[in-house]
Amino acid sequence: MKLTLKLIGILLVLILALVAIDGLLSVGRERELFLRKMRDNAVLLGETTAPLFKEIWLGQGPQRAFALIQEVNRSEHHIAVRWVSPDTAIDKLFAPRIAPDRIKSAPGDSAAVFSFERDGREQMAVYIPVNPKDPTFGWLEMTEAYSDLHAYTRETVIRTLAFSAALVLLAGIMLLVFGTYYLGRPLQRIIEQTKRIGSGDFSRLATPVGQDEIAQLSSSLNDMSSQLAAAQDEVRLQTERRVAAIEQLRHTERLATVGRLASGIAHELGTPLNIISGRAKMIGSGQLTPDESTHSSHVIAEQSDRMAKIIRHLLDFARRRKAERAPVDLCRLCSQTIDLLQPMARKAGVNLQLSAEPDMPLVQLDFAQTQQALVNVIVNGVQAMPDGGNLTITLSQSDLPGTADRPGRSRRCAVITVADEGVGIPPEHLKAIFDPFFTTKEVGAGTGLGLSIAHGIIGDHGGIIDVQSTVGSGTVLTISLPLEE
């Protein structure tokens, strides 16, 4: 609409300029025509009256000739007629308004026209010789004030201004109506369509009206919208396939981890089963006292709960869930993960330790995915200690500097630090440890996806993983998860 108003304003200024120029020229022409008409009327009156004046002067005397002039003055309301003499010695009553020498030197043998001022008013004087062949007869002087000319000029100016104003107003209304219909509304539809396209809505298309450039632009936008909609559908489909592939890959890695945990868990279940079996046989022998039987029943129940807990942790980890973020207690998450991995770590001679700062805040996470990332990191650390040792998980808080996507802004993060006492990672391998299928383990000992999947899961949560390692001294892997702002 702003463009329409600008164009209308420019056109109105041009129209107003043209009308003003035409009005000035028209007023000038009308003034010239009116002045010419005044002169022609005065000349016609003088040329008509001069012969009669001369004839009466010669036949009946000057008095009768002057009476004729008085009669003419009574019939004419705009032109004053009188006889003037070129003889300066005559009474001043008959002296012309203009110097006689100027009248005599006027070109032509008929009328001489002059302008003069009297009493502050501009007037016109026309001199017609009574007898062109005898200058002593003098002239008939016709004088007329320019007041009628000025009044006519004012009337013409007012009429021209009124016409110009009406023309500009009518043109403005017409331009506004047609500009809004043919320019403003189509452009507004195009603007609304571009806003919908910018917001990702490609469904509502504007119907082109006409065959002009705006209609072609609207049609091009429609084609672009259709192409973008098709591209968006393709991107959505490819994204869904990629997400599904990633989820499947993560689930596969989870199951592979479950397989690695199976031997440790089987060994962990062996001791409770032996205890349960022995206590059951003792109760079945009938040789126990009632108190001993009661104690053996409690032992059987405790060992059953212990096995159920181990199996439940394993099933929870192996089960495939839909990604869903919720406030998570990292202490609880790490404790459950340690419980899950304790059998495998104990079998490998690794002692899992948990240390946490007090009052750790909740973090918006997907519990299952984050647990899988933590399991992958811990399992990688356990496998890096063939001779056993301590693996410490530490929970803390820290402020991390801004990243490339958020320059200049620090972030408050919950930090999970996993430190092992393993063989370490050579410097040339540090940059590749998060690459899919990269592994330095023996064939069959790992898939090379554990750290890659952990890196992807932490990245999906807006976090980062940093690794520092010294060959022969161990590796420290730090997971930073942003807290709610």
> Which domain range does residue 463 map to?
326-485
Q: Give 351's pLDDT tier (boundaries 50, 70, 90).
A: very high
Residue 223 in domain = no
Residue 219 in domain = no
Q: What is the CA radius of gyration of the chain?
A: 57
CATH number of the structural domain spanning residue 455? 3.30.565.10
In this prediction, residue 393 carries a pLDDT of: 93
Of 141, 164, 187, the last residue of a domain is 164
Highest mean pLDDT among 8-12, 245-249, 367-371: 367-371
Of 136, 164, 192, the last residue of a domain is 164
Q: Give 38's pLDDT tier (boundaries 50, 70, 90).
A: confident
Residue 289 in domain = no
Averaged pLDDT score across all residues of the chain = 79
- Higher-confidence position of 406 and 398: 398
Residue 182 in domain = no
Q: Is the pLDDT of residue 90 over 70?
A: no
- Higher-confidence position of 289 and 51: 51
Across residues 397-402, what is the average pLDDT? 76
Closest-CA residue to 393 (of 340, 327, 317, 316): 340
Q: Give 395's pLDDT tier (boundaries 50, 70, 90).
A: very high
Of 164, 189, 210, the last residue of a domain is 164
In this prediction, residue 215 carries a pLDDT of: 72
- Higher-confidence position of 438 and 59: 59
Residue 20 in domain = yes
Q: Of 99-103, 127-131, 388-392, 428-432, which range is least confident?
A: 428-432
Number of domains in the chain: 2
Q: Give 402's pLDDT tier (boundaries 50, 70, 90).
A: low
Residue 274 in domain = no
CATH number of the structural domain spanning residue 110? 3.30.450.20
Residue 355 in domain = yes
Q: Is the pLDDT of residue 404 over 50?
A: no
Q: Is the Cβ–Cβ distance between 452 and 436 less than 8 Å?
A: yes
Closest-CA residue to 436 (of 452, 455, 457): 452
Query: Residue type at 296?
Result: S
Across residues 237-266, what is the average pLDDT? 67
Give the integer Cα–Cα distance in Å for 65 and 57: 5
Q: Is the pLDDT of residue 263 over 90?
A: no
Task: Give per-residue pLDDT as tens, 201-246.
Answer: 766 666 666 667 677 777 777 777 777 777 878 888 888 887 777 6
Q: Is the pLDDT of residue 348 over 80?
A: yes
Residue 447 in domain = yes
- Higher-confidence position of 254 and 97: 97
Q: Is the pLDDT of residue 444 over 50?
A: no
Task: Give per-residue pLDDT as tens, 45-84.
Answer: 888 898 898 889 888 888 898 899 899 888 888 888 989 8
Q: Of 201-210, 271-280, 469-478, which range is least confident?
A: 201-210
Task: Give per-residue pLDDT as tens, 325-338.
Answer: 889 899 998 998 88
Q: Give 443's pLDDT tier (boundaries 50, 70, 90).
A: very low
In this prediction, residue 452 carries a pLDDT of: 77
